[in-house]
């Protein structure tokens, strides 16, 4: 399942817009105002600046890790390696499964510049790249093609969610796959994703969390 909770950007921005006193009931924001703020965050350059800082820090931390021949870094796909902002704008941050599936098949998602630069750094250091995505196995080829078109030309493997894994949470699915990769001999030195569920559950060292204020996956 791509999203367990749709349009969760409201929660991400509560701390930006409101000061809450413990004795008072929680305040809420008009949904159109929240969407406007999210769009401004992405379109104004603030998102890009935040990513610059996060990736620069990730590279500094990477320099402290011991890198061997089986060292690998795990990448999430959506809103990490690839941006689906065009889709989000078209459907006003909504999720319509049939339309999402059509979007995936277009193979039009573009690379997120800072993440692509981080990927290039890892490849140049001989670190193996593994993509693990919650996209379904039926979307494997479109996802593979899109990654190649976006410039991710070198990677060891792409792992999509099988039909027998549909009931797993994102956290369970991704940690299970990292565990299986570890058992195959990979040393996963880090993971990068836009959701904490991309990073939690063990079998990784460095955790690089990039922002996503459009939705939440658990």
Q: Cα dist. 34→88, 97, 207 in Å?
A: 14, 23, 28
From CA 109, how far away is CA 86, in angstroms rounded?
Answer: 8
From CA 81, how far away is CA 60, in angstroms rounded?
Answer: 20
pLDDT score at 28: 81
From CA 210, how far away is CA 79, in angstroms rounded?
Answer: 9
Cα torsion at 6, 10, 15, 16 (round to 10°)?
130
Q: Which of 108, 112, 143 is nearest to 212 (CA)?
A: 112
From CA 178, how far away is CA 175, in angstroms rounded?
Answer: 5
Provide the token pair at 24. 């008072």
Provide the token pair at 167. 């009931």
CATH architecture of the region 9-18+29-209 = 3-Layer(aba) Sandwich (3.40)
pLDDT score at 27: 74
Where do the structural domains in the chain lie, given as residue ranges?
A: 9-18+29-209
pLDDT 10s per residue in the chain (218 long)? Answer: 455 434 444 444 444 444 545 567 677 888 888 889 999 999 999 999 999 999 999 999 999 998 998 999 999 999 999 999 999 999 988 889 999 999 999 999 999 999 999 999 999 999 999 999 999 999 999 999 999 999 999 999 999 999 999 899 999 999 999 999 999 999 999 999 999 999 999 999 999 999 999 888 88
Could you give the 3-state DSSP secondary structure of residue 192? Answer: strand
pLDDT score at 6: 45
Which residue is it, tokens 């990490």?
Answer: 80
pTM comes to 0.86
Q: Yes or no: say if 110 and 83 are a contact pair by the CB < 8 Å rule.
A: yes
Q: Yes or no: say if 210 and 80 are a contact pair by the CB < 8 Å rule.
A: yes
pLDDT score at 118: 98
Cα torsion at 61, 67, 70, 76 (round to 10°)?
10
The DSSP string of 150-184 is TT----SEEEEE-GGGTTS-HHHHHHHHHHHHHHT
pLDDT score at 23: 61
Provide the token pair at 143. 């996802």
């Amino acid at each position: 399942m791509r999203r367990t909770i749709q349009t969760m950007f409201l929660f991400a921005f509560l701390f930006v817009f409101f000061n809450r006193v413990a004795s008072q009931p929680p305040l809420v924001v008009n949904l159109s105002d929240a969407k406007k703020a999210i769009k401004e965050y992405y379109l104004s350059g603030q998102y890009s600046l935040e990513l610059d800082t996060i990736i620069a820090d990730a590279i500094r931390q990477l320099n402290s890790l011991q890198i061997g021949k089986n060292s690998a870094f795990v990448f999430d796909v959506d809103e990490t390696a690839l941006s689906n902002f065009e889709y989000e704008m078209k459907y006003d941050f909504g999720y319509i499964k049939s339309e999402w599936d059509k979007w995936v098949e277009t193979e039009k998602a573009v690379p997120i510049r800072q993440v692509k630069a981080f990927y290039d750094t890892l490849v140049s250091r001989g670190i193996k790249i593994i993509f693990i995505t919650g996209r379904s196995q039926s979307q494997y080829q479109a996802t593979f093609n899109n990654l190649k078109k976006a410039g991710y030309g070198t990677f060891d493997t792409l792992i999509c969610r099988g039909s027998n894994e549909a009931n797993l949470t994102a956290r369970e699915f991704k940690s299970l796959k990292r565990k299986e990769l570890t058992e195959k001999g990979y040393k996963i030195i880090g993971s990068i994703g836009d959701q904490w569920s991309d990073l939690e559950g063990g079998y990784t060292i460095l955790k690089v969390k990039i922002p996503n204020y459009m939705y939440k996956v658990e």
